[in-house]
A and B are shown apart, each in its own frame.
Chain A
Amino acid sequence: MDWKEYPYIGHLSKQLSGLSYRPLVELELHGLTGTHRASALIDSGSEASMMDMEIAEALGIKIPEHLPITVSGVSGSKRGFSSPVSFKVEGFDDVFTFTVIFVSEPSFDIVLGQQDFFRNFDIEFLRNEGIFRLKRSV
């Protein structure tokens, strides 16, 4: 299968010389309320895939009162819950169902981590060319 090529996306960063480029890929999320197209950060440093709880609400996923999962990062810990989420990745026809951890106000609204995304895709980061590439892993 061929590699698919995607551009890095630049956001304003006052701390990093004006621009911060990130590998963001579009997802088409499938929920009870319909589809939701969103950009997602590919993050090799994240063990799991995570989303903002507002996306759970948008997909029709019920948010439990008790949040049983603790997510830790450099800025501290947050409580969350997990739920399966089905989606397609821009450029690919496959529909994936990953277990996603939902937390309130994460640093980035969707993060694709090692547990599922990196198992299903080979990834090449070509930061100095402004692109990254994805290919389904065999």
Chain B
Amino acid sequence: MKLKSIDLTKILKEQHENKWVALSRDYTKVMGVNSKLKDLKEKIGDEDVVYMKVPSSDRIYAY
């Protein structure tokens, strides 16, 4: 069965881990990256993006 899920490993690499990123709304481009969300938002301004903090690939998360 073909999965409908989105694979962010095409655009998010190890250098993005534990940092804030601004992604395009279609999740195909990284529009900005910074260790501080406030600084990233100042840089991005009014662009239509989705913010997320990229989790570390070294950990298994149990919430």
A interface with B by C-beta (< 8 Å):
7-16, 18-21, 24, 26, 36-39, 41, 43, 45-46, 52, 54-55, 57-58, 73-75, 107-109, 111, 128-131
Is B63 in contact with A46, judged by CB distance below 8 angstroms? Answer: yes
Q: Give the secondary structure class of B's interface.
A: loop
Is A15 in contact with B58, judged by CB distance below 8 angstroms? Answer: yes
CB within 8 Å of A: which of B5-63? 5-9, 12-14, 17, 20, 27, 36-38, 41, 48-55, 57-63
Is B9 in contact with A10, judged by CB distance below 8 angstroms? Answer: yes
Is B63 in contact with A45, judged by CB distance below 8 angstroms? Answer: yes
Closest A residue by C-beta to B61: A107
B interface with A by C-beta (< 8 Å):
1, 3-9, 12-14, 17, 20, 27, 36-38, 41, 48-55, 57-63
Is B63 in contact with A39, judged by CB distance below 8 angstroms? Answer: no
The 3 closest A-B pairs by CB, nearest first: A130-B3, A130-B5, A8-B5
Once A7-B5, A13-B60 are accepted as A-B contacts, the answer to whether A57 and B38 lie under 8 Å apart by CB is yes
